[in-house]
Amino acid sequence: MHLFTTIFLSFVAASVLVGLWLSQRQISHIRSHYTRVPAAFAGKIALEDHQRAANYSCAKLRVGRISLAWETLLLLLWTVGGGINLIDQWWSGYEFGALISGIAVIFSVLLMSSILNLPFSLYHTFVIEERFGFNQTSWQTWLQDLIKSALLVTALGIPLLAAILGLMNQSGANWWLYAWLVWMSFSLVMIWACPAFIAPLFNKFSPLQDAALRTRIENLLQRCGFQSQGVFVVDGSRRSSHGNAYFTGFGRNKRIVFFDTLLESLSEDEVEAVLAHELGHFKRNHIKKSLLLSSVMSLAAFAILAWLMSSAWFYHSLGVDAASTHAALLLFMMIMPVFVYFVSPLFSALSRKHEFEADEFAHFNSNYKALISALVSLYRDNASTLTPDPIHSMFYDSHPPATIRINHLETIAADGSSA
Ligand SMILES: [Zn+2]
């Protein structure tokens, strides 16, 4: 066996074992806190809601394990099992030329992978979300979404792929720098275009109607020196009763979006506090920092790909007979997540740090008590567990666990009043 085959298989095995171990820890931890609401939430969250959150979290974790096993099996079949090789040989029989057959191979493999993963998406929406009362998606909406996304991915993906494969084939040793520039420009255009042109294909966005709430929000935006295209409400309730708020776009195209489901369940004070938190992400430059981080990461990824592409062992150790730019790109996209998995806790930690900073900002610019009560509502309504396993949380969670986050808010508020 090739040395790299052994390394790859060891990383696959290790990531599956760590994944299953963390999932088991999470389930046991949630189960062991099943009978009692944590003291910090007593009186705020009913035992019934606490147990619903536990059941919901465990149901998702159990499916997550089957999905992990399935995805791992597919990954092995595509690579060392010779799946990519088979598709590559089939297309090369048509002699379309390097660029067209490259696009055809990558699209065939990605299309088949998405079809093979569809059962999990269906099960998630129509079984789990349905059972816990979150699903509002009709079959019709689900199918429309699927067709629209497929068309969108094709319309945007083919030109991008053609540009990158073209550079890989023809622009010499520094192709990875040019390809990275194309990739970054594409990403920036997407961030800019998404709120105005892409998201409206799937949802309806309307300006916030409630006049009193609107005035409060506009005052807050002005206080924080934030210029935007305004505050929008999205009809999230068409698909799910989960609630959320987010901040999107950049430059003049930025906007704040509230889910209609969130506005229904929160008071004006709470909406203002949630918005202040979102503004905190903007004011503390979290968006710029994440963009910088992802541009450095993608530069490194292209540089590594350039090195792998010119190494014969890379193809042979992953089941591909003929070296080609498209095989290198496809193999790289497939195996990279296995290695990145082990550094993902660093990204989760950075994200949690940003959440703390945004909470601090919200504390200084609005009412922290309203933020706490909004968080409690969000945890209850989204059936998020209040008792995650600490190691599972450290590995995956983009947001600090509820207890720690609320403690942090109370601590900074106490420090602020004693200073
Ligand atoms: Zn946040």
What does the pLDDT profile of the chain (419 residues) look like in tens digits? 889 999 999 999 999 999 999 999 999 999 999 999 998 898 899 999 999 999 999 999 999 999 999 999 999 999 999 999 999 999 998 988 889 999 999 999 999 999 999 999 999 999 999 999 999 989 999 999 999 999 999 999 999 999 999 999 999 999 999 999 999 999 999 988 888 889 999 999 999 888 889 889 888 988 888 877 778 899 988 888 887 888 777 777 778 888 998 888 899 999 999 999 999 998 999 988 999 999 999 999 999 999 999 999 999 999 999 999 999 999 999 999 999 999 999 999 999 999 999 999 999 999 999 999 999 999 998 899 999 999 999 999 999 999 999 999 999 988 876 55
Q: Is residue 270 annotated as a catalytic residue, yes or no? A: no
pTM of the predicted model, to two decimals?
0.91
Give me ligand 1 centre to Cα 43, in Å. 25
Written as one string, the DSSP assignment of 277-341 is: HHHHHHHTTHHHHHHHHHHHHHHHHHHHHHHHHT-HHHHHTTT-SS--HHHHHHHHHHHHHHHHG
Q: Is residue 278 annotated as a catalytic residue, yes or no? A: yes
CB 273 within 8 A of CB 368: yes
Give me ligand 1 centre to Cα 247, in Å. 10
Give me ligand 1 centre to Cα 271, in Å. 14
Q: pLDDT by residue (tens digit) across 181-192?
A: 999 999 999 988
CB 319 within 8 A of CB 79: yes
Q: Among residues 272, 278, 355, 381, which one is catalytic?
A: 278
Give me ligand 1 centre to Cα 91, in Å. 46
CB 358 within 8 A of CB 281: yes
Give me ligand 1 centre to Cα 278, in Å. 6
Kind and range of the H or E run holding 206:
strand 205-207
Give me ligand 1 centre to Cα 345, in Å. 17
**Going by DSSP bridges, is the β-strand pair 255-259/245-248 parallel, antiparallel, or unpaired?**
antiparallel
Q: pLDDT by residue (tens digit) across 111-130?
A: 999 999 999 999 999 999 99
Written as one string, the DSSP assignment of 48-76 is: HHHHHHHHHHHHHHHHHHHHHHHHHHHHH
Give me ligand 1 centre to Cα 276, in Å. 10
Give me ligand 1 centre to Cα 86, in Å. 45
Q: Among residues 359, 360, 381, 389, which one is catalytic?
A: 359
Give me ligand 1 centre to Cα 344, in Å. 18
